[in-house]
Amino acid sequence: MLQQGEFERLGSSTTRRVDVRVIAATNQDLEQAVSARRFRADLFYRLSGFPLTIPPLRDRREDIPLLVWYFVHKRQTALRRSFTQISARLLRAFEAYSWPGNVRELEHVVERAMILSQGTTLRLDEFGSRAAQARPDAGSLEDVERAHVQRVLEACGWRVNGEGNAADRLGLHPSTLRFRMKKLGIERPAKASA
């Protein structure tokens, strides 16, 4: 048993000793899920040995410039780009945006900006209007995310796949976008599906 630091390979009778640590991450409140009987209590207690709670990006906007530079340095060699500056306008738009997709969404948007920017200054002119449209006080986070995803889908004529279409604009894999649409209760209007 892994808890005792040992396991047996499938089909083998030899016990092997290991020293492992299991790290699990979720964006769900597992204590609440256990109370609602949507998550197994025994598994929760095995996983919650040393819990760390990290606030979402919208609650730590001061980290955004550092994260943007981190993603730029991480990807610029692979993209064969070299950035020495980030547009102040883009940073202000990033800090004003609510980031429903959290750090992963920021990473995808930065990568998109790196691909589209000319020269050594990171820019993404279309992001300013995107940030202005997202109003964090317009309801719950789920309401804001639903409205944002729906706006992007409408702007793309409800096309999920392909360059410049909804998944691409949102910085998501098409299957991830479809999953989010289902989770948020977003359905393609009848006239859009024809």
For residue range 88-97, list pLDDT tens digits in order.
888 988 988 8
Name the band, by pLDDT with cuts 50, 70 and 90, for residue 55: confident
**Model confidence pLDDT, tens digit, residues 161-171:** 888 888 888 88
Overall pTM surpassing 0.85 (yes/no): no
CA distances in angstroms from 41 to 28, 29, 32, 112, 143, listed in the order given? 14, 13, 11, 41, 30
Query: Which has more confidence, 136 or 57?
Result: 57
Q: Assign domain 135-194 to its CATH architecture.
A: Orthogonal Bundle (1.10)
* Whether the predicted pLDDT of 174 surpasses 80: yes
Give the residue range(s) of CATH 1.10.8.60 domains in the chain.
56-134
Name the band, by pLDDT with cuts 50, 70 and 90, for residue 129: low
Where residue 54 falls (left for φ over 0; alpha for ψ -120 to 50; beta otherwise) is beta
Mean pLDDT (the chain, rounded) = 85
Can you say how many angstroms the Cα of residue 59 is from the centroid of all Cα atoms in its chain?
15
Residue 143 CB burial class (10 angstroms; 0-12, 13-18, ≥19) = exposed
Angle at 149 between CA 191 and CA 52, to 5 degrees: 150
Strands 121-122, 15-17: parallel, antiparallel or unpaired by DSSP?
A: unpaired
Give the residue range(s) of CATH 1.10.10 domains in the chain.
135-194
Both tokens of residue 147? 């409205």
- Rounded-to-integer distance, Cα 120 and Cα 164, Å: 23
Q: The domain 56-134 is classified under which CATH number: 1.10.3720.10, 1.10.8.60, 3.40.50.2300, 3.30.70.20? A: 1.10.8.60
* Whether the predicted pLDDT of 134 surpasses 60: no
Closest CA to 145 of 112, 192, 111, 179: 179
- Rounded-to-integer distance, Cα 87 and Cα 125, Å: 10
Position 194 scores a pLDDT of 37
